[in-house]
Structure 1
């Protein structure tokens, strides 16, 4: 299955803003072929994973949300399953977070990469993130068992919020942390201009909460609201935004040579990517852990930035990007 290039990359938190709409769409899909998808037909064989074809005879469905990074990760899961002997149905690129999540819970899909922060706050109903990434993953793993969902160990890939700044501006202001931004806002309020999405501007886990956590106050006249894609351009090529809302794994950070500001008080939740499985699938095929754990161990924030850039900046197909990376890392081989 091939996916068109996405000109505007949707992030987990952005997609969740339309949760109710996604639920309605899910219901509509259920009546017109929710299990539809395309068989993966790639000729791939085991590399460092999948030896002995532990999934031979299995028929598995992989899914993902509809933004580049998650599609890439979903394609990786499917390709590894395929190399391990399974027949794989590709149902990646579902609209929003809720539809992909429901597919896993109900067993309409078997596996995907999900984000710990999304699960902890949105699916499991908690209001405060857990600062330690491993502790948050363990809490998600334990709490989600009752929903028939199994979590495998997480990666260090952390797709969370940050603020970006051009290298030229950072050479002038030396903003290493959000505490540095707060100090500059107090010293020279006019200097701190920021570009954000509408949602980030109003959410308590966005700009308002960040200001409270760091004791900063940015004048309303210094806040510009715009589409996510435009923010990167504004921060890198104009003086209208000293800082801009970015996502830490976005490939445009590297492509546009931006620096990111450290969240030194750990205000933003951790959004580490980890395999999420329908528990009955895992019970039947426990070998899946041995297939996906090595992938997760290699998936870092920097790796994600590089892979995302190939799609969002270079215009490549997420499937091809996933396949190339898996082959290059030696996980699978082309037949």
Structure 2
């Protein structure tokens, strides 16, 4: 099964994915040791930062360096810049290799030891990299399974953030009261059949872990007169689901929980109260050899992870995708607001 984050990046699922700078230099280095490459993408800019709650690691060698990578969709660009700023505040010289086109190339930088750290999603690792057919909805169980298996690949996972970039159903906020103050997915079955209308992308419509099994988990049958008749389901091009849901074409649209368009269009995400969707929580991922050399890195990123929630990430994604701000500036301003760093004098 393909990595859904990789598919989203390829297809432009976020609608306004920003590709900042040229990555040709990076990709030319994939077969080389990162330390011998000596190249950084044009997008390696971050504003100068001073220490906040993240302080220089005591006794860190003056030449201590890290290579940080990320994938190339908005959320990953922001997370990559957060990692760069955190590592710099901790005293490292950082090579910024964020904005790598695709999940597999970014993963390869880690597994081949060419990068030291990135933010990764539990479900992506478990399903796409490790080849398991189904994800595990429980965050901690999914993290433990991924953590244990990836140790054999020379990779160590830090504790996951609350941020869970997984599938969800959303409804336009002005319709919440009209639909009986709906807040949970289980309540859809209580609505009249005529109100059980859905906007979906083709991938989610046909995935073995997508729409049909989701309906089954919530006691509904696709195509049944007393379930979800086929005429209640609309299939839309990539990215059009959000606007269709906002315009009332359907009551329930398939979304990603951290997409900035949720806030931009004032959509309300329903609680997956039967825990159908797999856990796609993000976590800091380290090259084990690097972590053994600099164990304090765990403490640095442990300050950040608890602050990364669906709500905070949606707001950050909004600033890039809708307001047009640069990922580096968005990451910097957020970290300053959280007291993690301070503006350089």
TM over 0.5: yes
Query: Which residue of the partner structure matches residue 244 of structure 2?
Result: 234
Query: Which residue of the partner structure matches residue 40 of structure 2?
Result: 37
1:292 Cα deviation after fit: 0.7
1:333 Cα deviation after fit: 1.9
Query: Which residue of the partner structure matches residue 190 of structure 2?
Result: 183
Alignment partner of 1:321 is 2:330: yes
Q: TM-score scaled to structure 2, two decimals? A: 0.84
**Conservation of the 8 A alpha-carbon contact between 1:44 and 1:334:** yes
1:129 Cα deviation after fit: 2.7
Unpaired segments ≥5 residues, structure 2? 12-23, 223-227
1:115 Cα deviation after fit: 0.8
d(CA) in 2 for partners of 1:254, 1:27: 35
Unpaired segments ≥5 residues, structure 1? 1-9, 19-24
Query: Which residue of the partner structure matches residue 19 of structure 2?
Result: none
1:230 Cα deviation after fit: 1.8
Aligned residues: CA RMSD: 2.5
Query: Which residue of the partner structure matches residue 149 of structure 2?
Result: 143
Q: Per the alignment, in what secondary structure is the counterpart of residue 156 of structure 2?
A: strand
d(CA) in 2 for partners of 1:134, 1:248: 18
Task: Work out which of the residue numbers 199, 202, 205 in structure 2 matches 1:201.
Answer: 205
**Conservation of the 8 A alpha-carbon contact between 1:149 and 1:276:** yes
Task: Work out which of the residue numbers 222, 239, 244 in structure 1 matches 2:232.
Answer: 222
**Conservation of the 8 A alpha-carbon contact between 2:56 and 2:91:** no
Q: Per the alignment, in what secondary structure is the counterpart of residue 333 of structure 1?
A: strand
1:332 Cα deviation after fit: 1.4
Query: Which residue of the partner structure matches residue 5 of structure 1?
Result: none
**Conservation of the 8 A alpha-carbon contact between 1:44 and 1:79:** yes
TM-aligned CA distance change 1:247 to 1:78, over 3 Å: same
d(CA) in 2 for partners of 1:17, 1:73: 19
Task: Work out which of the residue numbers 58, 75, 79 in structure 2 matches 1:69.
Answer: 75
1:56 Cα deviation after fit: 3.7
Structure showing the higher helix proportion among its residues: 1
Query: Please, which moves more after superposition, 81-90 or 147-156?
Result: 81-90
> In the TM superposition, what whole-angstrom CA distance separates every residue of 1:157-192 from its partner, at most 9, and x where no partner exists?
1111111111222221133222222333xx42x332
Query: Which residue of the partner structure matches residue 129 of structure 1?
Result: 135
Task: Work out which of the residue numbers 278, 283, 286 in structure 2 matches 1:277.
Answer: 286
**Conservation of the 8 A alpha-carbon contact between 1:40 and 1:89:** no
Alignment partner of 1:211 is 2:212: no
d(CA) in 2 for partners of 1:334, 1:203: 46
Query: Which residue of the partner structure matches residue 18 of structure 2?
Result: none
1:31 Cα deviation after fit: 6.0
Alignment partner of 1:161 is 2:167: yes
**Conservation of the 8 A alpha-carbon contact between 1:16 and 1:98:** no
Query: Please, which moves more after superposition, 93-102 or 318-327?
Result: 93-102
1:85 Cα deviation after fit: 1.8
Query: Which residue of the partner structure matches residue 305 of structure 1?
Result: 314
Query: Which residue of the partner structure matches residue 259 of structure 1?
Result: 268
TM-aligned CA distance change 1:11 to 1:311, over 3 Å: farther
1:27 Cα deviation after fit: 8.0
Q: TM-score scaled to structure 1, two decimals? A: 0.86
